[in-house]
A and B are shown apart, each in its own frame.
Chain A
Amino acid sequence: NAGVMQNPRHLVRRRGQEARLRCSPMKGHSHVYWYRQLPEEGLKFMVYLQKENIIDESGMPKERFSAEFPKEGPSILRIQQVVRGDSAAYFCASSALREGASYEQYFGPGTRLTVT
């Protein structure tokens, strides 16, 4: 019974390159969330997606960042023209949200992005 899968686990990019982070939710989950964690800090919400829909992107930087969750395949967080300040751990979580149910989110192991 696989949990939330993320790949790659570690990603090194030079300034100006693109970073693509992938997340496969738990089986049966149709809701995906992306969070960013800087060293020694808590997680910060970025975006909440359902299949083919962005529900809440209030935590996403306005430029260079985008996310999608297509009908088929994993959710992708894309960072264009990376800068050193993008270096962080990016976590994906998924949930099976039902009317009246809790919002229990299960997290993946994260992708650690290093921008050189």
Chain B
Amino acid sequence: GESVGLHLPTLSVQEGDNSIINCAYSNSASDYFIWYKQESGKGPQFIIDIRSNMDKRQGQRVTVLLNKTVKHLSLQIAATQPGDSAVYFCAENRNTGKLIFGQGTTLQVKP
């Protein structure tokens, strides 16, 4: 069945450290992956995306890595700040329009 999962429900990091949030997906036909950040009481906010023909993409302080061999996706946040505290979701799109979301990882940043 459809499945996009995250390895850990909660990640706690020290302010200034780098954060790595992982995601596993099950459908090798997926061609587009997105990371969203959701703060309490708000809608998901787009962070970064990557297509299946790439293995790495960088944004401002964020990097997404895609390993199609093991169907694994990760989000790296450099120099994590208190404002990065939120729930992070990976999502996949199979060229159909709809997004399949994982369960989410809560990132807690300790000052």
The chain A residues found within 8 Å of chain B, CB to CB, are 4, 31, 33, 35, 41-45, 48, 55-56, 58-59, 91, 93, 95, 97, 102-110
Q: Let me know if B42 and A110 touch, CB within 8 A.
A: yes
User: Of all chain B residues, which has the CB nearest A108?
Assistant: B43
Q: Shortest distance in angstroms between A55's beta carbon and chain B's nearest beta carbon?
A: 6
Q: Let me know if A106 and B46 touch, CB within 8 A.
A: yes
Q: Let me know if A43 and B101 touch, CB within 8 A.
A: yes
Q: Let me know if B102 and A42 touch, CB within 8 A.
A: yes
User: Which residues of chain B come closer than 8 Å to A56, judged between CB atoms?
Assistant: 96-98
Total A-B contacts with CB atoms under 8 angstroms apart? 62
Given contacts A56-B98, A103-B32, contact A42 B46 (CB under 8 A): no
Q: Is the interface of B mostly helix, strand, loop or mixed?
A: strand
Task: Tell me the complex Cα distance, A95–B45, Å.
Answer: 13
A-B contact pairs, 24 of them (CB 8 A): A4-B43, A33-B98, A35-B99, A35-B101, A41-B104, A42-B89, A42-B101, A42-B102, A43-B44, A43-B99, A44-B101, A45-B99, A45-B100, A45-B101, A56-B98, A97-B97, A102-B51, A103-B99, A104-B34, A104-B46, A105-B34, A105-B46, A107-B43, A108-B43
Q: Let me know if B102 and A102 touch, CB within 8 A.
A: no
Task: Tell me the complex Cα distance, A97–B89, Å.
Answer: 22
Q: Shortest distance in angstroms between A92's beta carbon and chain B's nearest beta carbon?
A: 8
